[in-house]
């Protein structure tokens, strides 16, 4: 009888196109709080919707005050063993791509190819001007917020600046979503890591892959609606599990 970890190593060795799907659980291992969870940001503050952000200066200031908390943790956050294992997995040469619900950019910092990463909810490491579309690194806005600018405007056109993320009430980027669905159809192994698989439409991606005959492996600390559907479900830390799996794979090659 193979253990779950041995079985996962076998799946990876036999796969040709591996798709990785990550959620908040992989970032909590880097000290980024899961803002959807109990005690998280959205539990303590009423989230500002995209529509409110567009029309109300007061709501924009409230939004940026909440964002400051995330920026503070972003300053010190480093990729963890899970992110590094995924970057190492890419070296096997069969990674289709990484689809993430996370906005922290830690996977890129771990050394994964940015062209193979789809950020479904955008990136908090960038800001975008809602008028001229200019995209900039987050640090500029962070400095302006710290110096007392409650809701910074674009230097170029005076438009409203916003983190380049998908807010409540804002649709996903259709091109990013279409690409994610295409990848789900092309993969033969999907590893869902640290996602509760409940936020739609993102959570449908692992289901689609499984329905098109890919193997589905779920590693997360909680239960998910797809557990019964998965070929392997492991309730444990992602960094720990992936490191063990990589060691097994290295021993076999
Ligand atoms: Zn602008």
Q: The CATH number of the domain where 192 resides is what?
A: 3.40.50.1220
Give the mean model confidence (pLDDT) for residues 73-88: 94
pLDDT at 112: 97
Tell me the per-residue pLDDT of 88-125, one tens digit each, with 9 for 90 and over.
999 999 999 999 999 999 999 999 999 999 999 999 99
38 pLDDT exceeds 60?
Answer: no
pTM over 0.85: yes
Do 167 and 48 meet the contact criterion of CB atoms below 8 Å apart?
A: yes
Same domain, 67 and 144: yes
For residues 58 and 154, membership in a common domain is answered with yes
Do both 148 and 61 map to the same domain? yes
For the residues 25-38, what does the mean pLDDT come to? 76
**Residue 150 and residue 37 share a domain:** yes
Same-domain check for residues 240 and 184: yes
Domain around 182: 1-31+79-121+172-253
Residue 69's pLDDT band (cuts 50, 70, 90): confident
| Count of domains forming the chain | 2
Q: How close is the Cα of 128 to the center of ligand 1, in Å?
A: 8
CA of 165 to the centre of ligand 1 (A): 16
Assess whether 225 and 204 both reside in one domain. yes
Q: What's the whole-number mean pLDDT along residues 69-98?
A: 93
The pLDDT > 70 percentage for the chain reads: 95
Tokens of 105: 């950019």
Q: Which helix (H) or strand (E) holds 96?
A: strand 95-100
Catalytic positions are: 121
Q: What is the pLDDT of residue 90?
A: 96
For residue 125, report the distance from its CA to the centre of ligand 1, in Å. Answer: 17
Question: Cα torsion at 138, 43, 130, 111 (round to 10°)?
Answer: 40
CA–centroid distance, 161 to ligand 1, in Å, is 8
Residue 39 predicted with pLDDT over 70: no
Neighbours of ion ligand 1 (CB under 5 A): 129, 131-132, 154, 156-157, 159
Q: Are residues 201 and 249 located together in one domain of the fold?
A: yes
Give the pLDDT of residue 252: 82
């Amino acid at each position: 009888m193979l253990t779950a970890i041995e079985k996962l190593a076998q799946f990876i060795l036999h796969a040709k196109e591996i798709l990785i799907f990550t959620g908040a659980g992989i970032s909590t291992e880097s000290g980024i709080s899961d803002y959807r969870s109990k005690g998280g940001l959205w539990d303590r503050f009423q989230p500002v919707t995209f529509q409110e952000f567009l029309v109300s200066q007061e709501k924009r200031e409230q939004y940026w005050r909440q964002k400051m908390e995330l920026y503070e943790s972003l300053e010190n956050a480093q990729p963890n063993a899970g992110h590094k294992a995924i970057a190492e997995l890419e070296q096997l040469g069969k990674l289709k791509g990484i689809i993430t619900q996370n906005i922290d950019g830690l996977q890129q910092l771990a050394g994964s190819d940015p062209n193979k990463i789809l950020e479904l909810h955008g990136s908090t490491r960038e800001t975008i001007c809602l008028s001229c579309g200019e995209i900039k690194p987050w640090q500029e806005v962070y400095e302006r917020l710290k110096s007392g600018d409650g809701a910074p405007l674009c230097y170029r056109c005076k438009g409203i600046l916003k983190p380049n993320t998908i807010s409540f009430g804002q649709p996903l980027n259709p091109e990013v979503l279409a690409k994610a669905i295409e990848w789900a159809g092309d993969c033969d192994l999907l590893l869902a890591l640290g996602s509760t698989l409940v936020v739609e439409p993102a959570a449908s991606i692992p289901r689609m892959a499984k329905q098109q005959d890919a193997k589905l492996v779920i590693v997360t600390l909680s239960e998910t609606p797809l557990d019964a559907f998965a070929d392997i479900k492991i309730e444990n830390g992602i960094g720990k599990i992936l490191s063990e799996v990589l060691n097994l794979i290295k021993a076999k090659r």
